[in-house]
Amino acid sequence: MTESDFEFLRGFLKQRSGLAMTAEKRYLVESRLGPVCRRFNLGDLHDLVAVLKLGRDAAAERAVVEAMTTNETFFFRDRVPFDLFRDVLLPQALQRNAGRRRLRIWCAAASTGQEPYSLAMLLQEAAPRLAGWQVEIVATDLSTEVIERARAGIYSHFEVQRGLPVQWLIKHFTQVGESWQISQSLRAMVDYRQLNLLNAFDGLGQFDVVYCRNVLIYFDAPTKADILNRIAACLAPEGALVLGAAETVIGLTDRLQPNPEHRGVYGHAAAGQRAAAAPLAAPLAAPAAMQARPPAPPVLAPASALAPLRAAAGR
């Protein structure tokens, strides 16, 4: 790849997805865009760049952007953000919104759906507390490909082994050939939409809890700041923003500040001070399946190892 082709691709990706690519990512560009060249019958990256420069092939442009995104995710990723949701953020929101009985959650870079479905499972476990409530999970991502996968809710054996307690696999999934499909009732809880975080968030409305995890790391500081400011505008006055472990608002915006009690959780600057003074809402009882720690490392067990559990569950 020539220097000028690499520079063009850097600019193209920055503009289309926010991805800030350093010079040492050349190898990544080459390895991920090689298959795109083959898919579009192009000889090499130079030909692909020529197509992008013409600006007449929307499918090729989308394929380049999607090939360069990192979609890594898994159920209950990092665990703590989900324990916090169950034990702190959800009870607090239930207390705050008790009058209007409405709860809105946004997963802002949902990838293939494991994050919103993890929250949906926790909400389903809390169903007795949510009777009569209108609960919405909006899950968005730049990539239409991952959104389609998330909507289908079909996961490989490897994917359901990553972070998902086996009891919840049995309870919420059905085996379809070699794969597992999440229940229709959980799929119905999540409203998937394609959304580029670089674009306006018009029409999304206000959210009580926003999960925007492991996506800001790919952007430069001005892009992070812009996205955080616009998320702040969508966050309910006492709402909570949850970021990934390597992400923060510090030094990027003064509209949001860290929750002093819960690492990785952020709130409106003014609301944060109030929250620090207010007592925490009583935590919900932890669902039995979550009291037992989910299998920590993603160990791939043979499908046959699940047979006794499925038999016990009558499947």
85 versus 94: smaller Cβ distance to ligand SAM: 85
Q: What share of the chain is helix, strand, coil (3-state, %, to 5)?
A: 50, 15, 35
Which two tokens mark 300?
């791939």
Q: Please report, as residue ranges, which positions from 234 to 273 form the binding site for ligand SAM (by CB under 6 A).
A: 244
Q: Please report, as residue ranges, which positions from 124 to 153 form the binding site for ligand SAM (by CB under 6 A).
A: 141-143, 146
297 versus 308: smaller Cβ distance to ligand SAM: 297
Closest to 154 measured CA to CA, from 138, 124, 171, 177? 177
Rg (CA), the chain: 21
With CB under 6 A as the contact rule, which of the stretches 71-79, 94-102, 163-171, 172-180 interacts with ligand SAM? 71-79
| 17 near ligand SAM (CB under 6 A) | yes
Give the SS3 label for residue 161.
coil
Interface mask toward ligand SAM for 194-233; x: CB under 6 A: --xxx--------------xxx------------------
Q: Do residues 150 and 113 lie in contact, with contact meaning Cβ atoms separated by under 8 Å?
A: yes
| 189 near ligand SAM (CB under 6 A) | no
CA–CA distance, 192 with 144 (Å, rounded to integer):
10
CB atoms < 10 A from the CB of 278, how many? 10
HSE, CB side, 13 Å, CA atoms: give it for residue 22.
4
Interface mask toward ligand SAM for 92-131; x: CB under 6 A: -----------------x-x---x----------------
Query: Using CB under 6 A as the criterion, which residues of the chain lie in contact with ligand SAM when the complex forms?
Result: 17-18, 69-73, 77, 109, 111, 115, 141-143, 146, 196-198, 213-215, 244
